[in-house]
Chain A
Amino acid sequence: MSKQRPGGREGAASRRAFLAATATGATGALAGCVGLGGGRSDDQRPGVAGETLTLTTTTSTYDTGLLDEIHPDFEDLYGATVDAVAQGTGAALETARNGDSDVVMVHARGLEDEFMRNGYGINRRDLMFNDFVIVGPEDDPAGIEGADSATEALATIADAGATFVSRGDNSGTHTKELNLWEAAGVDPGGDWYQETGTGMGEALNVATQQGAYTLSDRGTFISQRSEIDLVVLVQGPIEDGPEILANPYGIMAVNPGVHENANYDLAMAYIGWITSPGTQDAISNYQVNGEQLFFPEAVSEDPNFQQYVPEGWSNSSDSE
């Protein structure tokens, strides 16, 4: 769409060959078992070719231009179209609950876990992470710059009654913000606390215009920094800030047992593709204004069982 598309696809030849081989194999299996889409056509197109995957996701993955950067590769490989709908985590999950999307990419583990526990989401994978930062006007009226603790910084803002812009939209960032207030022991409210009910970009605009503080994911902040007059006052863990500001993204397929019209095959192809080493590299290489926005975490030598199940889940009845 709107972003310049930096290099990032060179050096992809071997990865492409690998992915193509994988895809062909997987497709053969698919076509054999499921007999999708009229079988193998003359040019050996995958069985999912021509189908459309509806992905509901957050404004932070969309507005940063990441999806526009990486999706052409998926569409080349599978001949399928990805319809990415940017909604915010709460709305993205709700759309999936109604059976109107096939796969969700969001960033609020609590909401993701609830979604899985209710049976709507399956095959969750950790995808990537960045972090949240507390941003505000350069003159920093509440004096929070360099605070070691995010919760302390928020408490200071509340004490000073400095204007704080909240997303107020049940998004992943909003969820994180509410968790932080709770951890800070502050019940936000009053003239200084403003809920915009909009996406991250708009909230940053509002904060700029009002000289206010806000919580932003680093990706959206970087991609929009040239348009706004805000600076990072409390860093997240990527820049050695407090761990509480971590911002992990997960991806899940919609359960075809609940919504039988969900395009499960294509959803799993997408999850397999986006968690593959090649795409994870592409995510890692994606830069805006010379800065990396997302850090992949799907590929790892070590097992990570917690990514598949709700946080803290254990099958205690089976032990012993």
Chain B
Amino acid sequence: MPLEPVVGLLQGFLDLPFRDGYVPSVVYVSLYVSVIAVALSTLFSIPAALAMGFTDFPGKQFVKSVINTGMGFPSVVVGLLVLFAVSNRGPLGALDLVFTKEAMIMSQFVLATPPITAISLAAITGVSDNVRDAARVLGGTRLDTALVVIKEARYGIATAVLAGFGRAISEVGSVLIVGGNITGADGVSKTRTLTTAIQLEARQGRYETAMVLGAVLVAVVLTVNAIVVRLGDTGVNR
């Protein structure tokens, strides 16, 4: 894992008042929840964006504006809605998901899907009609055409995924509500993410350690962005 040296370095410098394994486990939970949520969102969003980009239907503009509104949906409200859904009194109560990573993934999915869909849709709509027509004329099926369009729009789609990831990993309100910010007695995070760990440190007036965790969060986001951009570039064959 590329982060371990960074964390080790920081710990060496600042002698964080944490037990061994605490910070890595918090980073792990942050990544686990955000990556899975964004992967699920992407699987849902790109077909949705393609379908919307390729077809015209009544109310399309309305659906678009709903998605755009979703980009600004307050995470705390999403957290509350997911909490009501997974609470033992809610419709999904039997699954016993309160204060679990799965519940956190659900709320992150709801948060990440609108930006991924909206930005992908913009990228797909931006692909010139000529490209699409050419694919059709050359005898491409609907699927071939879709793949050509995705390839043309890949930078926009990568931006969309990164926007969704950025929203998921930096979000604090909903994961605090549905996750509960839990760390086991052994000092290993169960549902504590970097953001809720920062919130906890700030609540206790330990602003320096909160800042260090903030730096770790920025480093994680930078690393993920670099990896996604690299993946996008290797996809180019010229």
The answer on a CB contact under 8 Å between B22 and A261 is no
The answer on a CB contact under 8 Å between B203 and A83 is no
Set of chain A residues within 8 Å of B88, measured between Cβ atoms = 98-100, 259, 261
The smallest beta-carbon distance between A316 and chain B, in angstroms, is 34
**Complex formed: what's the CA distance from A72 to B201 in Å?**
22
The listed residue with most A CB atoms (<10 A of its CB), out of B93, B181, B185, is: B185
**Complex formed: what's the CA distance from A95 to B90 in Å?**
12
Interface check A199, CB cutoff 8 A: yes
Interface size class of B (residues with CB under 8 A): 20 to 34
Set of chain A residues within 8 Å of B113, measured between Cβ atoms = none
Set of chain B residues within 8 Å of A3, measured between Cβ atoms = 17
Q: A72-B185, A83-B180 known; A59 and B203 CB under 8 Å?
A: yes
Q: A98-B87, A100-B88 known; A227 and B93 CB under 8 Å?
A: no
Indicate with 1 or 0, residue by residue over A253-286, a CB within 8 angstroms of chain B CB atoms.
0000001010000000000000000000000000
The answer on a CB contact under 8 Å between B96 and A261 is yes
Q: Which of chain B's residues has its CB closest to A220's CB?
A: B204
Set of chain A residues within 8 Å of B180, measured between Cβ atoms = 83, 85
The answer on a CB contact under 8 Å between A99 and B181 is no
The answer on a CB contact under 8 Å between A2 and B203 is no
The smallest beta-carbon distance between B102 and chain A, in angstroms, is 14
**Complex formed: what's the CA distance from A199 to B196 in Å?**
14
The smallest beta-carbon distance between B210 and chain A, in angstroms, is 11
**Complex formed: what's the CA distance from A59 to B205 in Å?**
13
The answer on a CB contact under 8 Å between B18 and A202 is no
Interface check B56, CB cutoff 8 A: no
Interface check B142, CB cutoff 8 A: no
Q: Which of chain A's residues has its CB closest to B179's CB?
A: A85
Using a CB-CB cutoff of 8 Å, which residues 68-121 of chain A contact chain B? 68, 71-72, 74-75, 81-86, 95, 98-100
The answer on a CB contact under 8 Å between B17 and A83 is no
Q: Which of chain A's residues has its CB closest to B209's CB?
A: A2
**Complex formed: what's the CA distance from A199 to B183 in Å?**
18
Set of chain B residues within 8 Å of A85, measured between Cβ atoms = 99, 180-182
Q: A1-B18, A99-B89 known; A201 and B185 CB under 8 Å?
A: no
The answer on a CB contact under 8 Å between B182 and A201 is no
The answer on a CB contact under 8 Å between A198 and B87 is no
The answer on a CB contact under 8 Å between A199 and B185 is no
**Complex formed: what's the CA distance from A39 to B93 in Å?**
27
**Complex formed: what's the CA distance from A22 to B115 in Å?**
56
Indicate with 1 or 0, residue by residue over A34-73, a CB within 8 angstroms of chain B CB atoms.
0000000000000000000010000100010001100110
The smallest beta-carbon distance between B82 and chain A, in angstroms, is 13
The answer on a CB contact under 8 Å between B89 and A98 is yes
**Complex formed: what's the CA distance from A51 to B185 in Å?**
14
The answer on a CB contact under 8 Å between B99 and A83 is yes
**Complex formed: what's the CA distance from A95 to B201 in Å?**
23
Indicate with 1 or 0, residue by residue over A8-43, a CB within 8 angstroms of chain B CB atoms.
000000000000000000000000000000000000
**Complex formed: what's the CA distance from A74 to B184 in Å?**
12
Interface check B129, CB cutoff 8 A: no
Set of chain B residues within 8 Å of A261, measured between Cβ atoms = 88, 96
The answer on a CB contact under 8 Å between A201 and B204 is yes
**Complex formed: what's the CA distance from A12 to B118 in Å?**
60
Interface check A205, CB cutoff 8 A: yes
The answer on a CB contact under 8 Å between B203 and A100 is no
**Residues of chain A having any CB pair with chain B under 8 Å:** 1-4, 54, 59, 63, 67-68, 71-72, 74-75, 81-86, 95, 98-100, 198-199, 201-202, 204-205, 208, 223-224, 227-228, 259, 261
Q: A1-B18, A74-B185 are in contact. List 11 more A-B contacts (CB 8 A).
A: A1-B22, A1-B187, A4-B17, A54-B98, A63-B203, A71-B185, A83-B184, A100-B98, A201-B204, A205-B203, A227-B206
